[in-house]
Amino acid sequence: MSQLSIRGNLLLGADLVPGALVIRGGRIAAIERGSHLPSLPEPVVDAAIISPGLIDLQVNGGFGAEVGTDPASLRTLSAALPQTGVTAYLSTAVSSEPDFYPALFGAFAAACDAPGARPLGLHLEGPFLSPRRPGAHRRAVIESAPDDLLDTFCANSAVRLVTLAPERPGALHRIAALRERGIAVSLGHTDASADDFERGVDAGAAMATHLYNAMAPFTHRAPNAVGAALTDDRVTCGLIVDGIHSDPLSVRLAVRAKGIDRICLVTDMMAAAGMPPGDYTLFGRKVIVADGAARLEDGTLAGSIATLDAELRNLVAWAGVTPAQALHMATGVPARILNRPDLGRLQINAPADLALFDSDLTLQATYIGGALAYPNP
């Protein structure tokens, strides 16, 4: 469809403003504000809330597919994510052996133009992590990661975000090298003290990966990474709002401490997201999905099965934020982390990547480049 108008409450910043969008050639051609609008180009679609498409910075898999060396899995993810309101995402890989990464880069290059949600690049979660906080990552892979693997990361333009532990030997050099190449750095899977964490931020890291999880816990005498992440205004905290990774009270605390501009909703989805309970895998490790959680056989959490649209509703229910503020944390904030001013906000000439919701944030439709991607036309 070359032309379309969508009328309703527009997400502008972190507020909802009555108005309409006019879309031509896959881009936003006009933004009209007000309850009484001039005649709009036909056809006109009505929605309670019109948001930029959601952006997820941590997608390990979903809908039976896993990020890895098979381009078909990445295509499956891109095709399925619009049913959750996601129009752009980072394909995320957990800690792996060095020979995995060239194959991953090749698969991403082969699938990066797949129809559906736009793969913005790769999030490499490890292997430069703390062996004391591996989570579902394989400790042996973390311990054996060679220093020159960083050169492989820096040389590939698809790498957009790297998670590492700031207390590891050489970590500050790694952060500086990644930042020099325009790659964002997040601190996670870390046993860092507050001082270690702050040194990582001073070196250029600007994010904390899945706050609270795989981190030395906060105590009043040793605030550690959690305390530093919550109090440093330079840090944006990734937050999984599924009620499994963080208690609702912890979610509320994070939002109160950081504010809506420094919380980024992420899912950490794995292959079982969008699928029934049962047995799955995460990078070769058996994962059991039951009671709303994905766990290794020893009980360790292994990613999530949450979807980003469900997390929005949880955030409103638990943290006392408005629907507009919750949407901001899944649109404008992740776009800023990736330095993508063309995404995550409604603006003239931006791609018409949109998510339409009803008033309680139930997804109604997703558009990518002005074309209906969900529900299937």
Low pLDDT (below 70) residues in the chain:
1, 377
Do the bridges between strand 118-125 and strand 159-164 make them parallel or antiparallel, or are there none, so unpaired?
parallel
- Report pLDDT for 37: 86
Taking Cα atoms as reference points, which of 213, 272, 204 lies closest to residue 238?
A: 213
252 is written with which tokens? Answer: 């509320």
SS3 309: helix
Read off the tokens for 77.
Answer: 């993810």
Q: Coil, strand or helix: which one is 227? A: helix
259: which residues sit within 8 A by CB, 6+ positions away? none
Q: Which residue has the tokens 């999030």?
A: 123
What pLDDT score does 377 carry?
A: 63
Taking a C-beta distance cutoff of 8 angstroms, is the pair 352, 28 a contact? yes
Smallest Cα–Cα separation from 331: which of 349, 358, 350, 318? Answer: 350
Q: Are strands 65-66 and 86-94 parallel, antiparallel or unpaired?
A: unpaired
CATH 2.30.40.10 boundaries in the chain: 3-51+344-374
347: left (phi over 0), alpha (psi -120 to 50) or beta: beta
Closest by Cα among 104, 234, 237 to 90: 104
| Residue-level pLDDT at 1 | 54
Catalytically active residues, by annotation: 268
User: What phi, psi does 179 have (nearest 5°)?
Assistant: -65, -35
Q: Which fold has domain 3-51+344-374?
A: Urease, subunit C; domain 1 (2.30.40)
Q: Supply the pLDDT for residue 267.
A: 98
**Amino acid 2: pLDDT:** 80
3-class SS of residue 264: strand
Strand residue runs (E) in 240-303: 263-265, 278-282, 285-290, 293-296
Region 54-337: CATH code: 3.20.20.140
Instruction: Write the secondary structure of 177-201 as one string of H (helix), E (strand) and C (coil).
Output: HHHHCCCEEEECCECCCHHHHHHHH
- Tokens, residue 360: 């309680």
Cross-strand bridge partners of residue 295:
288, 301
| Parts of the chain belonging to CATH 3.20.20.140 | 54-337
Give me the pLDDT at residue 36, please: 85
Closest CA to 189 of 216, 217, 215, 153: 215
Closest CA to 120 of 352, 338, 351: 338
Q: Where are the alpha helices (DSSP H) in the chain?
A: 71-80, 100-111, 139-143, 149-155, 171-180, 194-203, 224-231, 248-258, 308-319, 323-328, 332-337
Instruction: Give the tens place of pLDDT for each residue, 236-250.
Output: 999 999 999 999 999
